[in-house]
Copies of this chain bind each other. A is one copy, B any other.
């Protein structure tokens, strides 16, 4: 089986026959789509509607070898889990300002250097949520009040020991794991060229 190196095939997206709002809560809105695919097959799909606000996740490094993780209550699991700081972009806010604000609210630090790392989707079959992952460094102490019900616990881990994190049972969020690997790749490649630290 040969590796694929040809350009992606041109695919015809299905035709939207009908769209209905089927359920709504404070936080979530669900719509159903009646779709006709190029081959004539018809299906009804449901998806969560986004609010159109961006989201941001931070790989924040207090020094060249470590990253900040937060321990917070995750209502979906009814457990405290370990993950990267993240949050929604406020209306009118740019992504860098949002990233710095979340870092101040959740970790008690600001960053003099923030740069985009990657944009990740959550479950593209069922929602259009995307999150912009930012690499933050040159940190300084500064705390802003957030809307958290209780202070988050901030912990510091070696970015080279992702395997150690994965061996824990409280660190499992796919996007956070992807973000750490991508940050580590970037740091390693830039260490070689000497351009990061």
Contact = CB atoms under 8 A, between A and B. Distances in A.
A94 interface: no
Contacts of A127: 76
Interface residues of A, number: 82
A17 interface: no
Given A38-B150, A79-B13, A150-B37, A122 B120 contact: no
A25 B13 contact: no
B157 A37 contact: no
Contacts of A143: none
A35 B127 CA distance: 27
A178 B33 CA distance: 30
A33 B75 contact: yes
Interface hub of A9, A27, A38, A127 (most chain B Cβ within 10 A): A27
Interface in A123-137: 123-131
Contacts of A162: 185
A62 interface: yes
A182 interface: yes
A152 B22 CA distance: 28
Given A122-B174, A174-B179, 8 more contacts: A11-B80, A120-B177, A122-B173, A123-B173, A124-B172, A130-B172, A166-B182, A181-B181
18 contacts: A1-B63, A3-B158, A8-B82, A13-B80, A14-B149, A22-B25, A23-B25, A25-B32, A28-B30, A37-B149, A38-B150, A76-B126, A76-B129, A77-B128, A83-B124, A118-B172, A120-B173, A121-B174
